[in-house]
Amino acid sequence: MNFTYWSVVIAVLIIATFLPRVGLIAVYKTYRTAKDREQVEDALKHLLDREQQGRHASPVSIAGTLDIPLGKATQLIENMETQELLETRGNELHLTSKGERWALHVIRAHRLWERFLADEARMPLEQVHNEAQRREHSLTELELNDLDAALGHPTRDPHGDPIPTREGTLPKVEGMPITAWQTDRPVRIVHLEDEPALAYEQILAAGLRLGQVIRILEKTQNRYLLSDGETEYKLAPAVAANVHVAALPESEMLKREAIPLVELAHDQRGEIVMLDDAVQGFTRRRFLDLGLTPGTVIYPELQNFFGDPRAYRIRGTLIALRKDQAAQIWVKSI
C-alpha cells in the first residue's frame, strides 16, 4: 500500500512538473522569458534616454541602471547585438532602428499606462510611475493602440512627458528647469520630473501641478519662492530643478494684462488687445469687419434694460454685441 501511495505521489509530481504550459518547468520558462524581456526593454529605454540627452550608454551605465553585475550587463549587450537591437562602437552603445522602434513602444506603453492610472484609475500621482513600469512590458502593439484610442489619443503623460505616436515619433520635450529661468515673467509648468521619487513627492506636497502659471518671487542658495498669484510655494533648489517651465505664448501674456470686453464698466474706455484664439472662421471675419482690431478704442454706450445685447461705440459707430461675443474680445482699460 505504501508503495502504491508513493508511486501515485511521484507520478503526480512528474506530471505537475513536466505538463506543457502549466507544469512547473513550463511556468518557470515563461517567467524567465518574461524577466529576460523586461531586462532587454529596460536597457532599450536607457539607451534611448541617453541618446535624447546627446550622450550614449555604456556597459557600466547599463549595469548601474539595471542594478546588475557588469559581467551580466556585458552578456545582455551581446544578446541584444545578436537580436540587432544595438551596435557597439568602442565603449559607446548605439540603438539600431529596430532597437529604437522597440524602445519607443515601451515608452509609449509606460506613458499611456500612467495616463490611464492617473485619469481612469484615480491612482495617486506619486504611485503611477512604479505601477506603469510594472505593466509596460505586457502589451502588444494592437493592445497598445486600443488603449491609446480608449484614452482619446493623449499627447502627454501626467508628468508632462510627450507620448510617442503609433508611427514611432517622439515629440520634442518642452521647457527648462525653473532654476535656469532668468526673468521674473510668468511661466507655465510643462513637466514635473518624477525621479527621484522623493523630490517628486515634495513637489506634489507643495501643491504645484502641471499647467499651473507661476512666477519666481525669490531665489537664494537655500530656496526658491514661487507664486501663482494666490499661493506661495517654497522649494529647495535641488527640488525646484525638477520643475520644468516654458514661457507663456504672447497671446496669453496679453490676456493676463487685459480683461474681457464684457467686464468693462459703463463709464470705462478700453483699448482692444486681441481677439480670443477661440474666435475663428466667420465670427472672426465679422469681428474684423466691424473694426474690432488691436489698438482700437471701444466703450459701452446705451444701457440695455435686459443687459444683452449691449451697445458699444467703436470708430464713431454703434454696434451691438452679445455677452458671449464680448467675452471673446480682450481689452485694457484706458
Long-range contacts of 52-59 (CB under 8 A, 24+ apart): 52/170, 52/173, 56/92, 56/93, 56/94, 57/92, 57/93, 58/91, 58/92, 58/93, 59/91, 59/93
What interhelical angle do 97-119 and 24-52 show, nearest 10? Answer: 100
State whether residue 89 is helix, strand or coil.
strand
Q: How many CB atoms lie within 10 A of CB 334?
A: 9
Answer whether 108's CB lies under 8 Å from 144's CB: yes
- Domain edges within the chain: 2-95, 176-248, 254-333
Residue whose cell numbers read 470705462 = 268
State whether residue 164 is helix, strand or coil.
coil
254-333 adopts what CATH topology? SH3 type barrels. (2.30.30)
Where does residue 13 rank: exposed (0-12), middle (13-18), buried (19+ CB within 10 A)?
A: exposed
- List the chain pLDDT tens, one digit each, 334 residues: 455 655 655 655 565 555 566 555 555 565 566 688 899 999 999 999 999 888 889 999 999 999 999 999 999 999 999 999 999 988 889 999 999 999 999 999 999 999 999 988 889 999 999 999 999 998 899 999 999 998 888 888 999 999 999 998 888 877 899 999 887 788 989 999 988 889 999 999 999 998 888 999 999 999 999 998 889 999 999 999 999 999 887 777 777 778 899 988 888 899 999 888 777 777 888 899 999 999 999 999 877 666 688 899 999 999 999 888 998 899 998 8
DSSP 179: G
Answer whether 130's CB lies under 8 Å from 194's CB: no
**Same fold? 2-95, 254-333:** no
Superfamily of the domain at 176-248: Ferrous iron transport protein A (FeoA) (2.30.30.90)
The alpha carbon of 289 is separated from its chain's Cα centroid by a whole number of angstroms, namely 40
Give the type of residue at 90. Answer: G
Domain 2-95 has CATH 3.30.70.100: no
Altogether, the residues listed in the chain come to a count of 334
